[in-house]
Amino acid sequence: MDKTRDLLVEIGTEELPPKALNALSKNFAQELSQRIESSGLTYTDLKSYGSPRRLGVWVQDLAISQLDRVVERRGPALAVAFTKEGQPTAAAQGFAHSCGVLVDALDRIENDKGIWLVYRQRQEGVLTQELLPAILAQAIQALLIPKRMRWSNLQAEFIRPVHWLILLFGDEIIPATLLGVQADRKTWGHRFHCLAPLYLSKPADYVSLLETQGKVLVDFSVRRETINTQVMAAAQSLGGKALIDEALLDEVTGLVEWPVTLAGEFDKAFLTLPTEALIATMQSHQKYFPVQDEQGRLMPYFITVCNIESENPATVVAGNERVIRPRLTDAAFFYATDCKTPLIGYNDRLKRITFQEKLGSIFDKTTRIAQLARYIARDIGGNENWAERAGFLSKCDLATAMVAEFPELQGVMGRYYALHSHEPAEVAEALREQYLPRFAGDILPRTATGQALSLADRLDTLIGLFGIGQAPSGDKDPYGLRRAALGVLRIMIESKLALDLLHLLTLSCENYGHHLLEKNIVAQHVYDYLLERLRSYYLEAGFRVDEIEAVLVLRPRQPWDFDRRLKAVSAFLTLPEATSLAAANKRIQNILRKHEEAIPAQIQPELLQAPAEQSLADKVYTLEQEIALLLETGDYGAALKILAGLRDPIDRFFDEVMVRVEDLALRANRLALLTRVQTLFLQVADISRLQI
């Protein structure tokens, strides 16, 4: 008799939400896998499937039952289980009775703490087919479904009404009723291409049966790749290249079970519209894939993916071409209407759009952004007037018809409308760049005006929301403040901007006036939060915790300066002197920490008695001069290389000189010398924190 069988689970539903399909399918497989394993069942492989009308899981070589096991129940210690004469006590007899055996049937167990009575019982494994209904029910209940629904007169709840259920273990149906449906071996194929039910004899036939007879590509990844290949081929046949958005590809994959790609055409006159508006119309409204030429210019074609193999594809194409025309006409109307008003003319309308209930309108926000952007531009060598102008214009496109229809075009349309209003080119570009980076790894603003505007916008948001008690908590971050914080840090670091972060946060606080709670400490709270994000940023980049802590403890106010210090510390660790100097700095720190009296600020040369302390003092004086310019220019790596020259003088000092001598003046002078040594390193980092 085989000890394993394949298991197939399929939940047949009405059309599932396409954007959530892939994640839901994987979630279902994961929950089922976890519960199978926690039930003590083994298997060799597990595959998830998902199409608009079904969620499926194929478990290969699933054990037909749990393994038999020996269950141990520990009783009283031997010392209290028997009398001195070896007779069982009431404790032993009571334990044996509770186990349903005589005392003589009990075993003994010994460890380093003593000897106990123990009852061992062999427990047969439960059959898998008896466990599966509960396992499946628990997996379904655990699915991450934000909103469940009921249907008919049933009490069952799921993301969509359920119409069939397969629970096939080998060639046997597991008797179970879940989600209001009794398990069977019957499935259904494509809604239009396969009108009769299909019957599954064994789980291994699932994929091929649905494809060959049901006209369903049930594997999400296979269906996705099929669509991707078909779309690229269709675009190539038109002499172009398909613009394939990954999120749209996932969504379309979630919309069709039997993908058939068709190409259509639209009026070339629409190509005079902003490219992004045309793309948004095709992607957002119609789920079409646009086509570009070799130069990246949009061509008057689109590619649609149908869920039916039509006998007359030309009719389907004509229908899609009829549908896209009014959509593009609407976009043209929005653009023409918006262009009738200069971009700055929309600024006043922002007073009617709320930024946050306690923080005023978007108009108020643009006023604050303009002030802060002007200051930042001055600090980074940009054009202050352009930055201020960009601040006032930054959110004007939110009041336009085009952005109302396509919110994802905010900033993009602002750029077009700014150019149409004859604003400076860099101001227009900054309106697009203000939203960069949009996600981890995204490109950064390139222009100084764009950098100033992007920073001002994010800092204003951080200060405002922290100031009204809306800081991120746990995994909750409804305002995207973690993303905003990372954007601030990336722009400052990767664009090498020497900006004082705490000062900018303080200025942003002042711009809010009376809106903020505990205004005097908000800037500090946001600064602390940004330092924590800085830690995460560099941990993900592969830096060691102790390297980061060595710099973070100094609380540098310029993120780019932090970056240079950290990289210098990382390079310092490769030097042969690193281990000795890190240990010496730890020793110096411990000595200074234990000294309670004030330490003189200056070294008294006449009190340098021992040759080793004189040698160390001379080296300190020399290196202070050598690294001064390096520190001023931020060349911390070179500074630490020079400071590595302190290893021998420091080692000799600790070998030959007693610090805590009876002579208080001499002791104080030696502590002053050690303080100077520590200060030299602290101008770069606290290397005493390095774990080497």
CB 174 within 8 A of CB 180: no
Alpha-carbon distances of 609 from 345, 474, 605, 673, rounded to whole Å? 78, 58, 9, 13
CB 249 within 8 A of CB 299: no
Q: Sort strands 186-188 and 197-199 into parallel, antiparallel or unpaired.
A: antiparallel
CB 640 within 8 A of CB 684: yes
d(CA 414, CA 416): 6
Averaged pLDDT, groups of 10, the chain, 692 residues long: 90 97 97 95 97 98 89 89 89 92 89 88 87 95 94 92 97 95 97 95 97 98 98 97 97 98 97 97 96 96 96 95 97 97 97 94 97 97 98 98 96 98 98 95 96 98 94 88 96 97 95 75 95 95 95 95 96 90 86 78 82 88 90 92 89 84 82 88 91 84
Superfamily of segment(s) 4-66+127-212: ACT domain (3.30.70.260)
Domain boundaries, the chain: 4-66+127-212, 69-123, 220-339, 343-542, 568-689
Residues 6+ apart with CB under 8 A from 603: 617, 669, 672, 673, 676
CB 13 within 8 A of CB 55: yes
The residue ranges of DSSP E strands in 426-469, in sequence order, are none
**What is the end-to-end Cα distance of the chain in Å, rounded?**
59
Alpha-carbon distances of 112 from 71, 72, 82, 109, rounded to whole Å? 21, 18, 20, 11
The closest alpha carbon to 390, from 451, 442, 446, belongs to 451
Predicted pLDDT at 90: 92
Predicted pLDDT at 269: 96
Measured in degrees and rounded to the nearest 5, phi and psi for residue 229 equal: -65, -45
Long-range own/partner contacts, residues 574-579 (CB < 8 A, 24 or more apart): 575/640, 575/641, 575/644, 577/644, 577/645, 577/647, 578/644, 578/687, 578/690, 578/692, 579/692
Torsion of CA 156, 158, 162, 166, to 10 degrees: -90
Alpha-carbon distances of 418 from 27, 346, 411, 541, rounded to whole Å? 45, 11, 10, 38
The closest alpha carbon to 29, from 146, 148, 135, belongs to 135
d(CA 434, CA 392): 12
Which pTM value belongs to this model?
A: 0.83
Other CB atoms within 10 Å distance of the CB of residue 512: 19
The fold adopted by the segment(s) 343-542 is Hypothetical protein af1432 (1.10.3210)
Is 568-689 in CATH node 3.20.20.70? no
d(CA 258, CA 189): 10
Residue with tokens 């730890």: 586
Predicted pLDDT at 18: 97
Predicted pLDDT at 378: 97
Predicted pLDDT at 122: 84
The closest alpha carbon to 231, from 180, 279, 290, 177, belongs to 290
Helices (H), 495-646: 501-511, 519-540, 545-552, 559-572, 578-594, 611-633, 636-643
- The DSSP call for residue 203 is G
Alpha-carbon distances of 512 from 186, 307, 353, 464, 632, rounded to whole Å? 64, 53, 17, 8, 34
Please, which residues bridge with residue 7 across strands?
59, 169
d(CA 54, CA 68): 36
CB 277 within 8 A of CB 401: no
- The DSSP call for residue 514 is T
